A and B are shown apart, each in its own frame.
Chain A
Amino acid sequence: MRSIRFHGRGGQGAKTASRIVGTAAFLEGLTAQDSPLYGAERRGAPVSASTRIGREPIRERGLILQPDLIIIADESLIDDSSARVLDGLSERTAVFVNTALGSEQARDRFRIPGRVTALDLTDMTLRQFGKPVALSAPLGAVACRLLGLKAESLRAAVAGELADLGLPEAVIERNLALAASCYESVPLVPVEETAGAMPAPVPLWTPVYEPPTVGSARISASANSPLHETGGWRTFRPVLVPDKCNGCWLCFVYCPDGVISMTKDDLPLIDYDHCKGCQICVQECPTKALVAEREQEGAGTWRAK
């Protein structure tokens, strides 16, 4: 059996990518299992998905703790401790990072032991679509290639999964083309099978009663909005082109997080500490005065600007 863990931000397509791999393996006659894990928050929040493929019945469930392959949809996740993308990593784990850096550079920059592969999927997607869209097909393609699944299985899986999502035929065609080119371009690092060692027995531990300051689910640290800065969730930032803005306030009205305020001159002021980069303002802006600009160096760069 081989196990693949996908990490992305809500909206990037990690879940669908995990399904594409599951379906592709299934179409090749392998046994497959895929399952996403995500929480209360949506766009931009760290999410993960797990896919297991093998020749025997799969007797595991849920999140993969010791993956054979980790697919990271966004380099900013590596520095986000809540995303836990490198959990269970060993020297035999293959890691793929979607980044503008080369494989060697990525391994050094992110201090990942083991075998790192990198490719700028976002750039390839932007060139194909001209705008930021979900990376499901590219992520799925990369994983299929690293796992040695066939190009035609990938093609059928992408077509099937994207059709299930209700995407129009023309969009699916462009995704297929994109998937094929990602499949061809990714530097090859073969993924090893999980060693079938029996897990060691685990001693049970029963917690004792602790005072409610400890034992009740109470968080008074900076994890609470508005003290918690969610700007690091962003992969694309909305940027104002002041000349085009007619001061209509629509971005202010539509912002689901209330992070756009209006200046005295009726210009939008974006609180980048809390903007999750959902791009609803970009979509709603009637004069295209707000445009999406890629966050180049991952989480934290927004501080510098």
Chain B
Amino acid sequence: MAGEMMTGNLAAAWGARLAGVDYIPAFPITPQTEIVEALAEWCDCGAMPARFVMMDSEHSMMTAAGAGAATGARVFTATSSQGLLHAFEVLYSVAGWRVPLVLVNVSRALAAPITLEPDHNDVLAARDAGFLQIHAETCQEVLDSILMAYRIAEDERVMLPVLVNLDGFYLSFTREPVIVPDPEKVAAFLPPFRPAHLGFKASAPHALGVAVLGGTPYTYFRHQMHLAAMNALQVHREAAADFERLFGRRYDVVEGYRLDDAEDVLVMSNAFATKGRAAVDAARAKGRRVGLLRLRVIRPWPAEAIVAALRGRRAVGVLDQNLAPGLGGILVQEIAATLYHDPERPKAICSFIGGLGGKNIHEGEFDAIVARMEQAGKAGRGEGPVLLYTEAEHREMAQLQVLASASRADR
């Protein structure tokens, strides 16, 4: 097989290296640390001519990244989970500055309780900050998406920062074959960054994202951000076409798998979508007409592509790898709202919550999902949120709780 074995983290670092970034303000956090380590080493040994600076926190890191990008430099940084939340205040500022940097988030579930493994409550918390969001399924896609992210971010029609998401462990520490693109081709795909509206200099002070008192200018600038994000759909199309021409790999805002004649469609994002494909194959082998829709770009929300893929289906099952307490899944709400205005909307939408904190989704659980979608489609009535949790897992959990109470009684 072509390429070389590489973790998702290293693929992310390669993305930054090939993009020829100028500045990397960094702060490590598990499971993102390997990205920072690789870039630090490359900058140290001269393999990368970028300026690498360790910051004191993600808040400073994101501020430095935004300010660096405001000078016209190409900026890269990465974080994860609580680190993304610590940077949260600055995310909105940086997006409002309209600076086109790339932030990689290695998804990890949020505290408390603390876990190191992924779900998407971290990255989805940032979905309204004004960053565009690309969610990768494979290590190759991580690298490729970073190149595409700069191309989209730096386009005059967009000028917004982009967040590229990869799942902790399932991609961050998972090695799989990755083709490292030819630097000359990358240079053709991603020309040098020449921003017209940026260029912070000590000699010519100006202010970005200044205080605008009153809602009229605020509304205008906020709406410009919305239009810029919507423009990104067209810019993504162009970037994807160029990328395919140069590198032979095609990326769309959403990706369908065995959709053509599918009655019921499972909607997923990120690394577990690979398991979703296997589940579709298994269901197909049993004669069920099931397909998969993977959401790759979450902001801007690709409403048209989603409606086109789901129109006229019998049932849709959305697998949310997140949990909004008091609501259920986050993405299923956006899918349902998107489909509502379509006269040929699916008869039923089912909501499933799974893979929280990196919890595996078993083949048997996918089986149950397919069965419940079929049932809901026939009944013309959706259901959920349904939590993917097995009896065996419940027994295991009960045992852990017994052990925990026993140790408490000892004292």
Known contacts: A216-B98, A216-B224, A217-B96. The answer to whether A211 contacts B207 by CB under 8 A is: no
Known contacts: A207-B223, A209-B228, A212-B156. The answer to whether A39 contacts B208 by CB under 8 A is: no
Contact with B along A9-28 (1 / 0, CB 8 A): 00000000000000000000
The CA-CA distance from A236 to B63 in the complex, in Å, is 38
The CA-CA distance from A7 to B86 in the complex, in Å, is 40
Contact in complex: B220, A39 (CB < 8 Å):
no
Known contacts: A209-B157, A218-B197. The answer to whether A224 contacts B206 by CB under 8 A is: yes
The CA-CA distance from A127 to B231 in the complex, in Å, is 63
The CA-CA distance from A189 to B217 in the complex, in Å, is 36
Contacts of A209 in B (CB 8 A): 157, 224, 227-228, 231
Within the complex, which residue of B196, B207, B227 is in contact with A219, where a contact is CB–CB below 8 Å?
B207
Q: Does A81 lie at the interface of the complex (its beta carbon under 8 Å from any beta carbon of B)?
A: no
Contacts of B228 in A (CB 8 A): 209, 212, 215
Q: How far is the CB of A214 from chain B (nearest CB, A)?
A: 8
Q: Does A263 lie at the interface of the complex (its beta carbon under 8 Å from any beta carbon of B)?
A: no
Contacts of A208 in B (CB 8 A): 227
Within the complex, which residue of A37, A215, A220 is in contact with B224, where a contact is CB–CB below 8 Å?
A215
The CA-CA distance from A221 to B206 in the complex, in Å, is 7
Contact in complex: A211, B210 (CB < 8 Å):
no
Contact in complex: B221, A215 (CB < 8 Å):
yes
Q: Does B209 lie at the interface of the complex (its beta carbon under 8 Å from any beta carbon of A)?
A: yes
Within the complex, which residue of B156, B157, B209 is in contact with A217, where a contact is CB–CB below 8 Å?
B209
Q: Does A204 lie at the interface of the complex (its beta carbon under 8 Å from any beta carbon of B)?
A: no
Q: How far is the CB of A39 from chain B (nearest CB, A)?
A: 5
Q: Does B204 lie at the interface of the complex (its beta carbon under 8 Å from any beta carbon of A)?
A: yes
Contacts of B196 in A (CB 8 A): 211-213
Known contacts: A209-B231, A212-B156. The answer to whether A219 contacts B98 by CB under 8 A is: no
Q: Does B285 lie at the interface of the complex (its beta carbon under 8 Å from any beta carbon of A)?
A: no
Contacts of A40 in B (CB 8 A): 211, 213
Contacts of A304 in B (CB 8 A): none
Q: Does A198 lie at the interface of the complex (its beta carbon under 8 Å from any beta carbon of B)?
A: no
Q: How far is the CB of B382 from chain A (nearest CB, A)?
A: 34
Contact in complex: A217, B210 (CB < 8 Å):
yes
Contacts of A37 in B (CB 8 A): 213
Contact in complex: A224, B205 (CB < 8 Å):
yes
Interface class of chain A by DSSP? loop
Contact in complex: A227, B224 (CB < 8 Å):
no
The CA-CA distance from A37 to B215 in the complex, in Å, is 12
Contact in complex: B207, A224 (CB < 8 Å):
yes
Contacts of A39 in B (CB 8 A): 211, 213
Q: Does A210 lie at the interface of the complex (its beta carbon under 8 Å from any beta carbon of B)?
A: yes
The CA-CA distance from A79 to B212 in the complex, in Å, is 21
Contact in complex: B157, A218 (CB < 8 Å):
no
Q: Does B259 lie at the interface of the complex (its beta carbon under 8 Å from any beta carbon of A)?
A: no
Contact in complex: B221, A220 (CB < 8 Å):
no
Contact in complex: B227, A217 (CB < 8 Å):
no
Contact in complex: A207, B206 (CB < 8 Å):
no
Contacts of A202 in B (CB 8 A): none
The CA-CA distance from A171 to B228 in the complex, in Å, is 56
CB closest chain-B residue, reference A82: B213
Q: Does B97 lie at the interface of the complex (its beta carbon under 8 Å from any beta carbon of A)?
A: yes
Contacts of B217 in A (CB 8 A): 217
Contacts of B210 in A (CB 8 A): 217-219, 223
Known contacts: A208-B227, A209-B228, A211-B196. The answer to whether A216 contacts B208 by CB under 8 A is: yes
Contacts of A207 in B (CB 8 A): 220, 223-224, 227
CB closest chain-A residue, reference B228: A209
Contacts of B206 in A (CB 8 A): 218-221, 224
**Max chain A CB contacts within 10 Å: which of B196, B224, B227?**
B224
CB closest chain-A residue, reference B159: A212
The CA-CA distance from A215 to B231 in the complex, in Å, is 13
The CA-CA distance from A40 to B213 in the complex, in Å, is 9
Which residues 109-142 of A have a CB within 8 angstroms of B? none
Contact in complex: A216, B211 (CB < 8 Å):
no
Contacts of B205 in A (CB 8 A): 224, 226-227
Q: How far is the CB of B344 from chain A (nearest CB, A)?
A: 28
The CA-CA distance from A178 to B201 in the complex, in Å, is 52
CB closest chain-A residue, reference B70: A218
Contacts of B96 in A (CB 8 A): 217
Contact in complex: B207, A218 (CB < 8 Å):
yes
Within the complex, which residue of B197, B204, B213, B231 is in contact with A216, where a contact is CB–CB below 8 Å?
B197
Which residues 69-117 of B have a CB within 8 angstroms of A? 96-98
Q: How far is the CB of B250 from chain A (nearest CB, A)?
A: 27
Q: How far is the CB of B373 from chain A (nearest CB, A)?
A: 39
Contact in complex: B208, A217 (CB < 8 Å):
yes
Contact with A along B192-204 (1 / 0, CB 8 A): 0001110000001
Contacts of A206 in B (CB 8 A): 223
Contact in complex: B208, A218 (CB < 8 Å):
yes
Contact in complex: B221, A216 (CB < 8 Å):
yes
The CA-CA distance from A98 to B34 in the complex, in Å, is 66
Contact in complex: A216, B159 (CB < 8 Å):
yes
Contacts of B97 in A (CB 8 A): 216-218
Contact in complex: B211, A210 (CB < 8 Å):
no
Contact in complex: B224, A210 (CB < 8 Å):
yes
Q: How far is the CB of A208 from chain B (nearest CB, A)?
A: 7
CB closest chain-A residue, reference B222: A217
Within the complex, which residue of A213, A217, A223 is in contact with B221, where a contact is CB–CB below 8 Å?
A217
The 3 closest A-B pairs by CB, nearest first: A220-B206, A215-B224, A216-B98
Can you report 13 residue pairs joining A to B where beta carbons are below 8 Å apart?
Answer: A37-B213, A39-B211, A209-B157, A212-B156, A215-B221, A215-B228, A217-B208, A217-B210, A217-B217, A218-B206, A218-B209, A219-B207, A220-B204
Known interface pairs A207-B220, A216-B224, A218-B207; 11 further A-B residue pairs with C-beta atoms within 8 A, sorted by A's residue number: A207-B227, A209-B224, A211-B196, A211-B197, A212-B195, A215-B228, A216-B97, A217-B210, A217-B217, A218-B206, A223-B210
